[in-house]
Amino acid sequence: QVQLVESGGGLVQPGGSLRLSCAASGSIFSIYAMGWYRQAPGKQREVVASISSGGIINHADSVKGRFAISRDNAKNTVYLEMNNLKPEDTAVYYCRADWLSAYWGQGTQVTVSS
């Protein structure tokens, strides 16, 4: 079992940047596929980006060219670099780990507003 703690959210103006971090503990981090999801008020949770244990990366079309997922297995951490943020990126962002089962963090709020 793995425990996940997200950080790095906050309030940012349109066009600004944030970097989210998700620190994992309790298991062998490198075996997990990791993902970032988000949920806006009144909407379903959606995948933003994912990175496999082997480093294969996918980004949702809505964030391609603006967001970048990465992982540092030595630090048991996955990151989401977010640039050129838009108001529609406002949501609670969740980290997810997958290996046999899915594990979720508690989420971190990202608000994009002027």
d(CA 45, CA 2): 21
E strand residue ranges, 1-114: 3-7, 10-12, 18-25, 33-39, 46-51, 57-59, 67-72, 77-82, 91-99, 101-104, 108-112
> Do strands 33-39 and 91-99 pair parallel, antiparallel, or not at all (unpaired)?
antiparallel
CA atoms within 13 A on the CB side of 89: 31
A 10 A CB-CB count for 100 gives 7
Tens digits of pLDDT across the chain (114 residues): 899 999 999 999 999 999 999 999 987 898 999 999 999 999 999 999 999 999 999 999 999 999 999 999 999 999 999 999 999 999 999 999 999 999 999 999 999 999
87 φ/ψ angles, rounded to the nearest 5 degrees: -55, -35
